[in-house]
């Protein structure tokens, strides 16, 4: 294998806040009326950038904002399941950058492309199919158990012999997608629509479009002949 790129799914391959608003509204149904309005206003302020919350991604932000009003893991999980069903329907507006599809088609003959997501298969695979992305990946790995599972899955894709200097991780959740990759010696591209960059990354941007030039140049460098070390 010439090289490997690990793409996260949620918050990375598509743009749009509809899932997070639906998730918040589903949680809010179980709150007292006065708490519902206050909570949903806080979620909207976060999504609009008026009041940024320190969170790994918008899923975490929705839950963190709910905690003072309703701390119930089971309820949050049920609301998340309902949201995943909503995301697979046409009512959920999501946008995939045209540049992403072009990039994936361009790179498939040069490098192995994998989508590695913590979402379960019944959520991740239909969503990728709906977005016309599923067929553009060589490997789709749902239920990946990141951050711990990221390196394990990379090693499996390298057939047991991990090659860090030829591996790139792209994602929006720093703890899941970037920190373990950097520790393992991978190249990284961190995406954060709200500009939350808690640590180092080789490349970073507010959207996938911002890091596509880096991804393309990184793949190009893999094909360049290695210069012999100077004596």
Percentage with pLDDT > 70 across the chain: 97
Q: Which residue range is the domain that position 167 belongs to?
A: 4-14+97-223
103 with 208, same domain? yes
Neighbours of 35 (CB within 10 A): 15
Comparing 91-95, 126-130, 222-226, the range with the smallest average pLDDT is: 222-226
Using CB atoms within 10 A of its CB, is residue 73 exposed (0-12), middle (13-18) or buried (19+)? exposed
Number of folded domains in the chain? 2
Domain closes at, from 28, 62, 87:
87
142 with 207, same domain? yes
pLDDT digits (tens, 9 = 90+) for 6-28: 999 999 999 999 999 999 999 99
Residue 132: its pLDDT value, please? 96
Q: What angle do CA 20, 26, 28 make, to 5 degrees?
A: 100
Contact of 51 with 38, CB cutoff 8 Å: no
Q: What angle do CA 162, 207, 168 make, to 5 degrees?
A: 10
Residue 141 bridge partners (DSSP): 116
134 with 79, same domain? no
Does residue 228 sit within a domain? no
Residue 203 bridge partners (DSSP): 189
Contact of 94 with 18, CB cutoff 8 Å: yes
Contact of 217 with 106, CB cutoff 8 Å: no
Total-model pTM: 0.90
Is the pLDDT score of 231 beyond 80? no
Q: Which tokens sit at 147? A: 């951050």
SS3 52: coil
Does residue 187 sit within a domain? yes
Residue 52: its pLDDT value, please? 75
Q: Which CATH number do you get for residue 211? A: 3.40.50.1000
Does residue 127 sit within a domain? yes
pLDDT digits (tens, 9 = 90+) for 44-77: 999 988 887 888 889 999 999 999 998 888 999 9
Does residue 191 sit within a domain? yes
Contact of 13 with 104, CB cutoff 8 Å: no
167 with 152, same domain? yes
Percentage with pLDDT > 90 across the chain: 84
Section 149-167 average pLDDT: 97
């Amino acid at each position: 294998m010439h090289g490997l790129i690990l793409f996260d799914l949620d918050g990375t391959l598509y743009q749009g806040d509809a899932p997070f608003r639906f998730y918040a509204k589903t949680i809010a149904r179980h709150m007292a009326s006065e708490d519902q309005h206050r909570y949903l206003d806080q979620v909207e302020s976060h999504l609009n950038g008026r009041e940024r919350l320190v969170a790994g991604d918008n899923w975490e932000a929705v839950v963190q904002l709910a905690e003072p009003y309703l701390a119930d893991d089971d309820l949050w999980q049920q609301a998340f399941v309902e949201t995943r069903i909503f995301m697979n329907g046409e009512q959920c507006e999501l946008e995939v950058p045209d540049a992403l599809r072009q990039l994936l088609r361009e790179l498939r003959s040069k490098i192995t492309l994998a989508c590695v997501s913590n979402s379960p298969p019944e959520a991740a695979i239909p969503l990728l199919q709906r977005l016309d992305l599923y067929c553009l990946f060589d490997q789709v790995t749902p239920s990946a158990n990141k951050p711990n599972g990221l390196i394990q899955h990379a090693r499996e894709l390298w057939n047991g012999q991990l090659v860090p200097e030829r591996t790139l991780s792209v994602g929006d959740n720093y703890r899941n997608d970037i920190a373990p990759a950097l520790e393992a010696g991978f190249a990284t591209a961190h995406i954060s629509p709200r500009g939350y960059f808690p640590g180092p990354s080789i490349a970073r941007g507010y959207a996938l479009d911002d890091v596509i030039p880096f991804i393309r140049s990184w793949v190009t460098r893999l094909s360049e002949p290695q210069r012999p070390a100077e004596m």
